[in-house]
Amino acid sequence: MDEEATYDFPDVKIADENGLLAVGGNLSFGTLMNAYKKGIFPWYNPGEIIQWFSPDPRFVLFPGNLIISHSMRNVLNKHLFKFSVDKAFPQVIKNCRKARRSGDPGTWISNEIENAYIDLFEKGFAHSAEAWQNNELVGGLYGVLIGKVFFGESMFAKESNASKFAFIHWVKILKKNGIELIDCQIYTQHLESLGAEFISREEFNGLLKKWIE
């Protein structure tokens, strides 16, 4: 198999009830760009064959619908953290890889995932948002930006509210720069509290066609 080959995907309508659409291929730049433009993302455990998903419904955030709770406004006003963009992308993805979440036995971020997204970052398509405390990276997130859509991939926090802090600042920047949609992929209570909502896969892919150039 040519590791640099660009693979295409079947119609997302044939995805199963869990959103699984295809298996195999690679994580080359061309394949990943093809996937994101069609609302497809890789998600699988290390050691498994690459699996591609397009869930229905899709969990998204429209930047104008961002919710900042009273408690988070207090956090922001206290200036507990410092914010940056693209200052520590490799560190962010490594910390997301190390993060352990409730009910999750491990991480889906393998060596090949890490390398593929660092390559996307070096090509200008992946970005990270970071929260710092006493010059230490304590929270952040990363994802892929194509056209007017940001596809969020993962986030982490070493200090309470650090990832929310980074996310809120990042959403404000995206909104200021005309980004219309943030893909959160699948439901989390954390993101729901920040204003994320479900839309149908059909609506989501229609918005991709509208906002990805």
Please write the tens of the pLDDT for every residue from 13-41.
Answer: 999 999 999 999 999 999 999 999 999 99
Same domain (yes/no): 113, 89: yes
Collapsing DSSP to helix, strand or coil, 194 comes out as coil
Structural domain boundaries enclosing 18:
12-53
Same domain (yes/no): 68, 16: no
Same domain (yes/no): 69, 39: no
Amino acid at 14: I
Task: Report the CATH number at residue 28.
Answer: 3.30.70.3550
Q: Kindly report the backbone phi and psi dihedral angles of residue 115, in degrees, each rounded to the nearest multiple of 5, phi listed first.
A: -65, -40
Give the C-alpha separation, 26 to 49, whole Å.
9
Using CB atoms within 10 A of its CB, is residue 4 exposed (0-12), middle (13-18) or buried (19+)?
exposed
Answer yes or no: is 7 within a domain. Answer: no
Same domain (yes/no): 119, 40: no
Contact (Cβ atoms closer than 8 angstroms) between residue 36 and residue 63 = no
The pLDDT score that the predictor gives to residue 45 is: 86
Please give the span between the terminal C-alpha atoms of the chain, in angstroms, as a whole number.
30
pLDDT band at 1 (very low <50, low <70, confident <90, very high): very low
Collapsing DSSP to helix, strand or coil, 153 comes out as strand
Same domain (yes/no): 45, 149: no
pLDDT in tens, 125-135: 999 999 999 99
Task: Report the CATH number at residue 103.
Answer: 3.40.630.70
Q: How many domains does the structure of the chain reveal? A: 2
- Section 133-146 average pLDDT: 98
Same domain (yes/no): 144, 99: yes
Same domain (yes/no): 34, 73: no
Using CB atoms within 10 A of its CB, is residue 114 exposed (0-12), middle (13-18) or buried (19+)?
middle
Q: Is the dihedral of CA 129, 91, 49, 9 positive or negative?
A: positive
Contact (Cβ atoms closer than 8 angstroms) between residue 37 and residue 146 = yes
pLDDT band at 153 (very low <50, low <70, confident <90, very high): very high
pLDDT over 70 at 121, yes or no: yes
Distance of CA 96 to the CA centre of its chain: 11
Same domain (yes/no): 163, 93: yes
pLDDT over 60 at 162, yes or no: yes
The pLDDT score that the predictor gives to residue 42 is: 95
Same domain (yes/no): 35, 126: no
pLDDT band at 3 (very low <50, low <70, confident <90, very high): low
Query: To 10 degrees, what angle do helices 89-98 and 111-122 make?
Result: 160
